[in-house]
């Protein structure tokens, strides 16, 4: 299984870069997309695009037209690309319980994008395709697993998170579609 680098002139590339930049919201920080890699035949019009940041421990995506997920078990990015998301790997103490957490806010996903034991100025976040199913907007922390998905509302809207968050209780509803590779500025670890 490998991912292909998206042509910068294609519609999907433009759509993803537009989302990424529009939803980079953390003040005093910025990012620049270097490349986008996408799985073959993964697009589904029912999907809502979200981002998920996690640990990366390889140099896939540094150059070239292919991303071949590595088998290093410290590389959660490649593991998710290969095997999909797993609720069993989520932190049960998270605000909305065991679930797959993603966000439309690229700069929030960026907070979780960590390079593990690699020296790279580039970072990676996973592009997710989310089917919402039975969905609710919630303002308070809790376990809402009777729903397929909840959207956590922000403190501005009377909710409990600073930036919107999508919480999926059915792991089959979240599909890793690809990866965005970018550099970032103004961000201190
Ligand atoms: Zn990897």
- For every residue of 53-117, DSSP letters joined together read E-EE-S-TTSSSSEE-----TT-HHHHHHHH---GGGS-TTSTT-SSEEEBS-HHHHHHT-EE-S
CA 176 to centroid of ligand 1, rounded, Å: 14
pLDDT digits (tens, 9 = 90+) for 121-131: 999 999 999 99
Structure confidence at residue 98 (pLDDT):
96
Q: Cα-Cα-Cα-Cα dihedral of 78, 111, 91, 160, to 10°? A: -140
46 band by pLDDT with thresholds 50, 70 and 90: confident
Q: Quick one: average pLDDT of 26-38?
A: 96
pTM of the model: 0.96
Distance from the alpha carbon of residue 74 to the mean position of ligand 1, in angstroms = 8
Residue 48 Cα to ligand 1 middle (Å) = 25
Summarize the confidence of residues 101-114 as an average pLDDT.
Answer: 97
pLDDT, position 189 = 56
Grade residue 188 by pLDDT with cuts at 50, 70 and 90.
low
Least-confidence region, from 4-13, 135-144, 180-189: 180-189
130 CA from centroid of ligand 1 (Å): 22
Q: What is the average pLDDT across 73-80?
A: 97
């Amino acid at each position: 299984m490998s991912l292909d680098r998206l042509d910068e002139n294609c519609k999907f590339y433009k759509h993803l870069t537009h989302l990424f930049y529009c939803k980079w919201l953390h003040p005093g920080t910025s990012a620049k997309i270097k490349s986008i890699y996408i799985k073959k035949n993964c697009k589904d019009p029912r999907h809502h695009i979200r981002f998920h940041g996690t640990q990366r421990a390889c140099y896939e995506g540094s150059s070239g037209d292919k991303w071949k997920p590595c088998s290093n078990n410290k590389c959660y990015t490649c593991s998710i690309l290969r095997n999909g998301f797993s609720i069993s790997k989520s932190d049960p103490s998270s605000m909305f319980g065991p679930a797959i957490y993603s966000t439309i806010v690229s700069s929030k996903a960026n907070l979780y994008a960590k390079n593990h034991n690699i020296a790279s100025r580039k970072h990676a976040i996973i592009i997710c395709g989310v089917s919402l199913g039975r969905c609710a907007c919630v303002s308070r922390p809790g376990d809402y697993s009777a729903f397929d998905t909840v959207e956590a509302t922000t403190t501005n809207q009377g909710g409990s998170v600073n930036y919107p968050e999508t919480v999926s209780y059915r792991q089959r509803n979240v599909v890793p579609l690809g990866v965005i590779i970018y550099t970032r500025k103004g961000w201190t670890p």
